[in-house]
Amino acid sequence: MLIDGSEMYYLMEKLFPICRSITGNGVRETLKIINNLIPLNIHEVPSCTKVFDWTIPDEWNIIDAYVKDENGKRVIDFHNSNLHVVGYSIPYEGKLSLTILKNHLHTLPDQPDLIPYVTSYYDKRWGFCLAHNELLKLKDDFYYVKIDSVLEPGHLTYADLVIDGQTEEEILISTYVCHPSMANNELSGPVVSTYLAKYLLDSKDKPFYTYRFVFCPETIGSITYLNQHLNHLKEKVIAGYVINCIGDPGPFSYLLTKSENSLVDRITLHALKHSNQEYNIFSYLERRSDERQYNSPGVDLPVGSLMRTKHASYPEYHTSGDNLDFVTQDALNESLEMYIRCIEMLENNRTYESLTICEPQLGRRGLWPNLSIKGSSTSWRLMRDIISYSDGSNDLLCIADKVNRPFWELYPIVDQLVKSKSPVLKLVA
């Protein structure tokens, strides 16, 4: 597959204007567009459905919202930015003084040119968000306010895609589709996840593992998914990622699973260590997204999160500054490549055992130079190290860490040792 960041960026541009929330038509529209690229299974779960300790809320949709001054000019307009309305705002219409209106306005005084992202999913209220500098321009006057929204019983919408592998053991890839127009925090996750799924679907070889992709609203969506699939996931999932904040040009960041030593932790840390670039590692204690749900008590799935700049760690986070200019095609491309590298490592990580007692004679198998010259064995030392540690207890990743060499340098050598005319190694697991 030829990876092209421009394709991912184009998808992001198509998705950016859509007003998404944890329920509603914005989620449906988003999944419909993604479904044109990969074959999603789209599911609807009714409002008021009990999901563990939570209840799916009423569905929210918005048509229009604005604040007009005395001259009829829209000083706040939902159609200029869907961040202008507090998520899940109830319908409202009325004329208010500026003093009263301010009780329903949200700004960021420390970032006066940016619109904040504010939600109120489980308490009924209404409100608007705007740049603080725009608030300062409002005259002490009366304003006409209208929020044309609908909050009523409906559904929570999510989608999944299962790509069958040679084994029923699964790799879980989860991303969220519930934020309005924010490029990095919201859309980079679904975009990279879509093209990662496309990479697997387009591969000529059937993957070893089964891959389960989940596109759902953050928190309530992952809780709903777990409620419906928990037993299966606990039995089958051996590793997983939550993908978000993966489109900015900052260094990679990895948030560990709760155990901090799961297979996905080992794979990702190794890939980052041998990437020849800066990266940051964060404890599970610094979790913020759906890795919370997947690692929670009674669930305990080994799911980490590979990001660029960690969520909530950049000033543009949850503001209008997280726009299409904040992400880059190159960063999206590099991020997808890093995820593909991790997937390839998962696919090729096996445990092997030597078929000989004592050191095997590699020369008669054509695996060792026939002429011994000082220094000639240097390039073959890695092969001997692989054989030495292949005792049925060390997986290939463990061996790569022991010899301090990139994992992807080892498995072509292992392939030689397994497929030689007189095999040196056999696959154990």
Q: What is the pLDDT of residue 22?
A: 98
Confidence at 361, pLDDT banded by 50, 70, 90: confident
Confidence at 49, pLDDT banded by 50, 70, 90: very high
Residue 169 has pLDDT above 60, yes or no: yes
Distance CA 95, CA 73 (A): 14
Q: What is the pLDDT of residue 371?
A: 45
Can you give the three-state secondary structure of the chain, one letter per residue? CCCCHHHHHHHHHHHCCCCCCCCCHHHHHHHHHHHCCCCCEEEEEECCCEECCEECCCEEEEEEEEEECCCCCEEEECCCCHHHECECCCCEEEEEEHHHHHHHEECCCCCCCCCECCECCCCCCCCEECCHHHHHCCCCCEEEEEEEEEEECCEEEEEEEEECCCCCCEEEEEEECCCCCCHHHHHHHHHHHHHHHHHHHHCCCCCCCEEEEEEECCCHHHHHHHHHHHHHHHHHEEEEEECCCCCCCCCEEEECCCCCCCHHHHHHHHHHHCCCCCEEEECHHHCCCCHHHHCCCCCCCCEEEEECCCCCCCCCCCECCCCCCCCCHHHHHHHHHHHHHHHHHHHHCCEEEECCCCCCCCHHHCCCCCCCCCCCCHHHHHHHHHHHHCEEEEEHHHHHHHHCCCHHHHHHHHHHHHHCCCCCEEECC
Per residue in 389-415, pLDDT tens? Answer: 999 999 999 999 999 999 999 989 999
Domain ranges of the chain: 5-57+155-348, 59-152, 352-427
Residue 109 has pLDDT above 50, yes or no: yes
Q: What is the pLDDT of residue 4?
A: 77
Top-level CATH class of 5-57+155-348? alpha beta
Q: What is the pLDDT of residue 2?
A: 59
Q: What is the pLDDT of residue 129?
A: 98
Q: Taking the model in full, what pTM does it have?
A: 0.95
Is CATH 1.10.10 the classification given to domain 352-427?
A: yes
Is CATH 3.50.30.90 the classification given to domain 59-152?
A: yes
Per residue in 77-106, pLDDT tens? Answer: 999 999 999 999 999 999 999 999 999 999
For range 275-287, the mean pLDDT: 96
Residue 108 has pLDDT above 70, yes or no: yes
Percent of the chain with pLDDT over 70: 97
